[in-house]
Amino acid sequence: MVIGLLMITAIPVVTGTAQAVSAQKNRDQQQKDERRMKKFHIDIRCTGDSKQAKELDGKRVVLKADRLWLGPAAVVQKGDYGYVAESFYIEYPDTERAPAPMGLVSQVWDDPPLLNWIYVDKNTMEVKYGNKSASITHNIGPWDWSEDEVQIVFDDMDVAFINAFYAVERLPGKWQLFFDMKGDQLAGYLPTKMTKIQVELHRNLIVAAGEAETA
Ligand SMILES: *[C@@H]1O[C@H](CO)[C@@H](O)[C@H](O)[C@H]1NC(C)=O
């Protein structure tokens, strides 16, 4: 009889604990997601003393004609150069890919606000943006950040960690973003004469006007 009572009363306690743990997990997950979903501009970091490195360092990633380009430094408004990328991380919803890889999105249009996925074209190694049907057969992630959360990394499953973003000068002064997935410095994809400079992509958090006061 005593044992029976204990068992009965024990059950809700255990369930309660499990619920508390699961609620804590959800809160942790939520906080993690909120951090991942903080919007940022993508700024180019290019160290080195060459004239080109100095020219590229600090440029901001812009979106135009389905592709990512290096726009002017510190721009916040769209212009002839394209739409200024405002990115964040969110899981890419694809039932064929389990677990769901972390995707990278950007707003690509103001009115109505439209988000697209940022991905690496499997045929050309260009970094591009597009909706789900445009991106799903390409390399859509996993995208990640470096340990200090500053650098954006494209983390292919076959390669532990690679930073192989390249700025490629398609026309004089017009730099397009590529990702070298094959480790051949894009030799198989672009003319060898074309200038290719390795760059890093850095997160530059966008502080909303309301947030600035409380931060
Ligand atoms: C997705 O993008 C493609 C072009 O890349 C377009 O043709 C198609 O209409 C878009 N689909 C949706 C649902 O917006």
In the predicted structure, residue 17 carries a pLDDT above the cut 80: no
Residue 71 CB-density burial (10 A; 0-12 exposed, 13-18 middle, 19+ buried) = buried
CATH C-level class of 39-214: mainly beta
Look at residue 163 in the predicted model and tell me its pLDDT: 67
Look at residue 12 in the predicted model and tell me its pLDDT: 47
Q: How far is the CA of 134 from the centre of ligand 1 (A)?
A: 7
CA atoms within 13 A on the CB side of 89: 20
Q: How far is the CA of 132 from the centre of ligand 1 (A)?
A: 8
Q: What is the CA radius of gyration of the chain?
A: 22
Nearest residue (by CA) to ligand 1, atom 7, is 134
Distance between CA atoms of residues 194 and 128, nearest Å: 19
- Residue ranges of domains in the chain: 1-36, 39-214
Q: Which atom of ligand 1 lies nearest, measured to the CA of 131?
A: 1
| Lining residues, ligand 1, CB within 6 Å | 130-131, 133-134
Question: What is the separation of C-alpha 170 from the centre of its chain, rounded to a whole number of angstroms?
Answer: 23
Nearest residue (by CA) to ligand 1, atom 10, is 131
What percent of the chain clears pLDDT 90, i.e. is strictly above it? 62
pLDDT, mean of residues 121-130: 97
Look at residue 28 in the predicted model and tell me its pLDDT: 82
For 79-118, the pLDDT digits (tens) are 999 999 999 999 999 888 888 899 999 999 888 889 999 9
pLDDT, mean of residues 140-161: 79
Q: How far is the CA of 46 from the centre of ligand 1 (A)?
A: 34
pLDDT, mean of residues 156-161: 50
Read off the amino acid at residue 185. Answer: Q
Look at residue 147 in the predicted model and tell me its pLDDT: 87
Q: How far is the CA of 81 from the centre of ligand 1 (A)?
A: 22
Read off the amino acid at residue 107. Answer: Q
In the predicted structure, residue 3 carries a pLDDT above the cut 50: no
Distance between CA atoms of residues 133 and 38, nearest Å: 25
Specify which residues 71 forms β-bridges with. Answer: 60
Look at residue 214 in the predicted model and tell me its pLDDT: 47
Confidence of residue 215 (pLDDT cuts 50, 70, 90): very low
Q: How far is the CA of 172 from the centre of ligand 1 (A)?
A: 31
Q: Which atom of ligand 1 lies nearest, measured to the CA of 133?
A: 1
Pocket test for ligand 1, best of 67, 108, 133, 136 (most atoms within 8 A of CB): 133
**Contact present, 84 and 39 (Cβ < 8 Å):** no
Confidence of residue 1 (pLDDT cuts 50, 70, 90): very low
Nearest residue (by CA) to ligand 1, atom 4, is 134
Distances (CA, A) of 66 to 12, 109, 110: 55, 12, 16
Q: How far is the CA of 12 from the centre of ligand 1 (A)?
A: 51
In the predicted structure, residue 30 carries a pLDDT above the cut 80: yes
Q: How far is the CA of 180 from the centre of ligand 1 (A)?
A: 26
Look at residue 11 in the predicted model and tell me its pLDDT: 45
| C-beta atoms surrounding 63 within 10 Å | 27
Look at residue 196 in the predicted model and tell me its pLDDT: 95
Look at residue 110 in the predicted model and tell me its pLDDT: 85
Average pLDDT of the chain? 86
The token duo for 27 is 């809160």
The token duo for 160 is 């532990």
